[in-house]
Amino acid sequence: MLKELKLYPKFVSMSLRSTLSYKADSIIMILSFIVSEAVSLATIYLIVGTVPAFGVWSFSTLAFLFGFVLIPKAIDHIFTDDLWILAYWAIRHGDLDIYLTRPLNPLYQFVAKTFKWDGLGEFAVGIAVMCIFAPQTGIAWTFGGVMGLIVCAVLGVFCFSSIKLLFASLAFWVKTAGIFLNTIYSLSNYAKYPVRYMGKAFASIMFFVIPFGLFLYYPVECLITGVNIWWAALWSAIAAVILVTLSLSVWHLGIKRYESSGN
């Protein structure tokens, strides 16, 4: 573990310098992200605007939720963006081979090599949206509340990346892992909506099966409804432990399969 930690700054600096020659591309990526999220937010605005009140939610509170959801997504994008490559073609192209010949954890090597700094732009947008709408939400802000939210965000990163890893690892078994990952990823966008109103079945799935609702939506719902946010933190922690263990196990099974059946 120590070796991986010591090596990480080196990987990051190499990634940063690699992308320096592609400045225009990074700007386009940030622009594309802003456009996507703006459209997403506008959609929410238009839909919520058709009713005078959406339960406990108003546009401001939904916008705040929106900003919060962006945070773990952005951080995950910064560190683990290469998981998309794993899902789509890394296995078939034998990209993992060279990592297996080195005395260093192959998953670490695969993920550490990309540090997508345009994710920092996404992170900033998330923070900005939260700050803009926070005053209008009518939430009674306390120090504990803010800390709780931050803890939830951090745990959310682990949950989010684990889910990505889990579905990306399916690539060891099927060729369509990329499509599954894409579908699951777009499911995460629905955590920006009032999950609890969208039917018992959907809410159950979002809370307990693929728990985007649990670690993205629930913390903010707690703040809005006055429930202690540390309950959300607890749930997020439980989810994080389960998801991290599960995803790493699937990855290990996948690598074992790779080593026994090639690609």
Partner 1 sequence: MIELKNVEKHFKKPIRGKGVWGMVKTLFSRKYTLVKAVDGVSFTVNDGEAVGYIGANGAGKSTTIKMMSGILTPSRGEILIDGKRPYRNKERNAVLKTIGVVFGQKTQLWYDLPLTETYELLKHIYEVPEAEYKTRLGELIELLDMKPFMDAPVRTLSLGQRMRADLAAAMLHNPKTLFLDEPTIGLDVLVKRNLINAVNALKKEYNTTLILTTHAMSDIELLCERVIILDNGKILFDGTLNDVKHMFGDKRDITISTPSPLDVTAVNEKFGAAIDRIAAEDGGLKTTFTIDALKLHSSELLNFMFNNYAVADVKIAETGIEQVVEKIYADKNLDIDGNAIVNADDTDGSKKDEVNDGTR
Partner 2 sequence: MARGRLKKYFIFTKSGIQTVIAYRGRVALWCLGAVINALLMGLLWWAIYEFSPESVIGGYTFPQMLMYVILSAIVFEVINSDSMGTIVDDVRYGLIGMRLMKPINYRLQLGFTSLGSFVACMAIVGIPMIIMGLIVALCAFGLSGIVWYNVLLFLPVTLLSALVYDSIGFLFGQLAFRTQAMFGVSSMTNVLIGFLSGSMIPLAIYPSWAQSILFYTPFPTMVSLPVRLFLGQVPWSELGISVAVSIAWIIVLNVIAHFAYKGSVRHVVVFGG
17, 51, 102, 103: which one contacts partner 2 (CB under 8 A)?
51
103 binds partner 1 (CB under 8 A): yes
Q: Looking only at residues 140 through 159 of this chain, which bind partner 2 when binding is defined by CB under 8 A?
A: none
Q: How many whole angstroms separate alpha carbon 163 and alpha carbon 176? A: 16
47 binds partner 2 (CB under 8 A): yes
93, 124, 142, 179: which one contacts partner 1 (CB under 8 A)?
93
Q: How many whole angstroms separate alpha carbon 114 and alpha carbon 108? A: 11
Match 């745990």 to its residue by tokens: 155
Which stretch in 97-105, 122-130, 177-185, 229-237 sits in contact with partner 1 by CB under 8 A? 97-105
Q: How many whole angstroms separate alpha carbon 244 and alpha carbon 138? A: 35
Q: x/- binding map, residues 199-238, to partner 2, per CB under 8 A? A: x--x------------------------------------
Q: How many whole angstroms separate alpha carbon 16 and alpha carbon 159? A: 25
Phi, psi of 116 (to 5 degrees): -85, 95
CA distances from 158 to 25, 154, 170 (A): 28, 7, 19
Task: Tell me whether residue 41 or residue 153 sits nearer to partner 2 (CB atom).
Answer: 41
Does residue 57 sit in helix, strand or coil? strand
CA distances from 218 to 86, 115, 116, 197 (A): 30, 29, 28, 13
Question: Which residues in this chain contact partner 1 in the complex, by CB under 8 A?
Answer: 6-7, 10-11, 14, 17-19, 21-22, 93-95, 97-98, 100-104, 113, 173-174, 176, 259-262
Question: Which residues in this chain contact partner 2 in the complex, by CB under 8 A?
Answer: 22, 24-26, 28-29, 31-33, 35-36, 39, 42-43, 46-55, 176, 179, 182-183, 186-187, 190, 193-194, 197-199, 202
